[in-house]
Chains A and B, each alone.
Chain A
């Protein structure tokens, strides 16, 4: 090998060895973890959503806002071609005042959209048993966790300022607790996967008025804990 050293050294002469940046790795991790789906038509979507809400109010119907957000998501999905390929329909898991949690199957596993008028952060990479194919491009093997979550900060256009924490739990999980950096633990309501999804998973979502996070600091979630029906801890997963 020593004879080869000059050639091997010359091969990497342009390597930018001084450019190590862990903060860049973390930023890339956050960017790829969940993407904000706010296409250039976002303003139009917002107008459509607001107009629809006004019409519903005038008509006095009892149709939930989630139905409108489902339609918005159909349009978003059609307009953003670089999302993972969708394999099924969009299915509403839970909804509230101007938000909906929408699940869909993709080529890389279960994805969740957190839909608000004109905006839609989403994530697909939940390393939870049953939420992903057994193998993926990273060669990392099948997912093994009982719970995993995603955090959408409170500064979203179209949002109400609350931080939203949502995610996936394995079928044997009966309760999920979200641990905040200050030590508080918040119970996250669990929802069974709607039958149309045809998956044995549960979903959770919790919305909290948390202060905005600074760059590079600790995230708004310290850990997720999954419990079984007898209240025994199945797993605590640090975020």
Chain B
């Protein structure tokens, strides 16, 4: 029985199986593939170092998502401080896919992350909730709100 702590073998197994999911989700968040790779590598390295602080009642992959997403958020904050990140445009009325992309990127962070984790990582509502540290109900509400916003824009493109 594990008292606490994740093993390096567990972390490695998740890395090998889920690297693509982590990388795509973080790439979408940062909009920079190489920076996302750096974040994923750093996030797993951090997890490896801090594997003793994982508390055994949770899910190791969800714990890894929290760490990697925190590293990604730190990277985003750092970029914003340096004014190197293009400011996200607020949604504008329009009729081409670029507008949908802008709408997607302009979603509130939790909605955006819920969409990314659902699409790129194929996580369930419960897994997304664990990864984001919110309730499954909040995840459902976030996804519904995101879909409502994006559906409206898709309909406008279709018109």
Contacts and interface: CB of A to CB of B under 8 A. Distances in A.
Q: How large is the interface on A (under 10, 10 to 19, 20 to 34, 35 or more residues)?
A: 35 or more
Contacts of A145: 4-5, 52-53
A56 to B, nearest CB: 38
Contacts of A44: none
A58 interface: no
A132 B116 CA distance: 33
A4 B97 CA distance: 9
B81 interface: no
Contacts of B19: 17, 20
B67 A15 contact: no
Contacts of B70: 137-139
B23 A29 contact: no
B138 interface: no
A16 B37 contact: yes
Interface string A139-152: 11111110010000
Contact of B101 (A10, A19, A137): A10
B45 interface: yes
A125 B116 CA distance: 31
A238 B147 CA distance: 45
A7 interface: yes
A26 B66 CA distance: 19
B52 A29 contact: no
B21 to A, nearest CB: 10
Contacts of B119: 1, 4-5, 8
A200 interface: no
Contacts of A25: 15, 41, 44-45, 48
Interface string B135-147: 0000000000001
Interface string B87-122: 000000000010011001000000000011011100
A11 B27 contact: yes
A3 B48 contact: no
A237 B52 contact: yes
Contact of B120 (A12, A14, A29, A137): A12
18 contacts: A4-B100, A4-B115, A4-B150, A4-B154, A8-B115, A14-B34, A15-B23, A22-B12, A25-B41, A26-B45, A26-B48, A28-B42, A31-B45, A127-B53, A138-B46, A139-B66, A144-B3, A238-B8
